[in-house]
Amino acid sequence: MSNAAKFGKVAVLLGGKSAERAVSLDSGQAVLEALLRSGVQAEAFDPQERSVTELVAYDRAFIVLHGRGGEDGQIQGVLEWLNIPYTGTGVQGSAIGMDKVKTKQIWQGSDLPTAPYRIITKDTDLDAVIADLGLPVIIKPVHEGSSVGMSKVEKTEDFAAAIAKATAHDAVVMAEKWITGREFTISFLNGQPLPVIRLQPPADVAFYDYEAKYQRNDVEYGIPCGLSESEEKTLQALCLRAFQAVGAEGWGRIDAMQDEQGNFWLLEVNTVPGMTSHSLVPKAAQAVGYSFDALCVAILEQTLAASV
């Protein structure tokens, strides 16, 4: 790509110290190789191995740090302080998007449909939670991504183990009403929704968990997604409102469900989605003609507007 010089020296931020470090290393390596193939002067930068003060040597940053430290506004704040343009969502939107409860509160306040939930503490009356949400529920750490620490709970006696698993990753844990139906993911590029993908994990997993996301090859990805054209447009418009409501920008992903009555429910937003061979944003972008390399360059181009 002849005009790649306009980007200058690019730090591909990967790795980090979150529970999603391994996935971030894979994503970051894929992005790095794509940028290098496109003629961009890009280098890997792992904040766990190097001081973030060394970022002053770069002209811009492509953030592929998943989870805490990379997706929650921390690295965005560092880059803002150093005056280095970066990909994706800013400090505030990143911090909100990483917090599942804050995201839900904003969606509820914006009149957007999201599954009912309760925050769980050691003092929570679990019988009251069950009376409120019914069974099954899904237990989630509030500040983790990639389905880390999540469990489906179908029986009262399984609550304690699920809460212990989630608490190992986060002091704040939530129970969310289980939505039975079809799961979809909606990716965004340049702030606009891409074609909807239907996710169909194999029958032996309870939900689209960490293993299904990154390690298995038997998850089905439906493009087209099986919705009618009007339903797909409705879901895209709903997710665009949800994406904008939390302050997400540029690129990202929202996961949603359609229940058995046909209603859509927003699950969560992902402001630094995976960019591995299994990942969903590259699949959605490919459906509208983007190669992986072209997608990475298009995401990086968002930093040019920021640096004008």
Residue 203: pLDDT band (50, 70, 90) is: low
pLDDT per residue over 240-298, tens digit each? Answer: 999 999 999 999 999 999 999 999 999 999 999 999 877 999 999 999 999 999 999 99
Q: Residues 290-307, buried b or exposed e (16+ Cβ, 10 A)?
A: bebbebbbebbebbeeee
Q: Which of 18, 20, 151, 249 is catalytic?
A: 20
Would you say residue 179 has pLDDT above 70?
Answer: yes
Would you say residue 209 has pLDDT above 60?
Answer: no
Q: Once rounded to an integer, what is the mean pLDDT over residues 91-106?
A: 95
pLDDT per residue over 10-19, tens digit each? Answer: 999 999 998 8
Q: Which of 147, 151, 187, 279 is catalytic?
A: 279
Q: Which of 146, 147, 151, 187 is catalytic?
A: 146
Least confident interval from 55-64, 197-206, 244-253:
197-206
Answer yes or no: is 255 a known binding residue: yes
Compare 166 and 2 and report the one with higher pLDDT.
166
Taken in order of first residue, the domains within the chain and their CATH numbers are: 4-87 (3.40.50.20), 97-113+180-288 (3.30.470.20), 117-177 (3.30.1490.20)
Q: Once rounded to an integer, what is the mean pLDDT over residues 30-41?
A: 98
Q: Once rounded to an integer, what is the mean pLDDT over residues 151-164?
A: 87
Q: What is the three-state SS of the chain?
A: CHHHHHHCEEEEECCCCCCCHHHHHHHHHHHHHHHHHCCCEEEEECCCCCCHHHHHHCCEEEECCCCCCCCCCHHHHHHHHHCCCECCCCHHHHHHHHCHHHHHHHHHHCCCCECCEEEECCCCCHHHHHHHHCCCEEEEECCCCCCCCCEEECCHHHHHHHHHHHHCCCCCEEEEECCCEEEEEEEEECCEECCCEEEECCCCCCCCCHHHHHCCCCCEEECCCCCCHHHHHHHHHHHHHHHHHCCCCCCEEEEEEEECCCCEEEEEEECCCCCCCCCHHHHHHHCCCCCHHHHHHHHHHHHHHHCC
Would you say residue 201 has pLDDT above 90?
Answer: no
Answer yes or no: is 270 a known binding residue: yes
Would you say residue 33 has pLDDT above 90?
Answer: yes
- Predicted local distance difference test score (pLDDT) of residue 306: 57
Burial-class residue 113 by CB neighbours within 10 Å (0-12, 13-18, 19+). Answer: middle
Q: Once rounded to an integer, what is the mean pLDDT over residues 206-210?
A: 51
Task: For residue 228, indicate whether it is catalytic.
Answer: no
- Predicted local distance difference test score (pLDDT) of residue 217: 59
Least confident interval from 6-20, 143-157, 160-174, 219-233:
143-157
Task: For residue 20, indicate whether it is catalytic.
Answer: yes
Least confident interval from 26-40, 87-101, 104-118, 215-229:
215-229
Task: For residue 230, indicate whether it is catalytic.
Answer: no
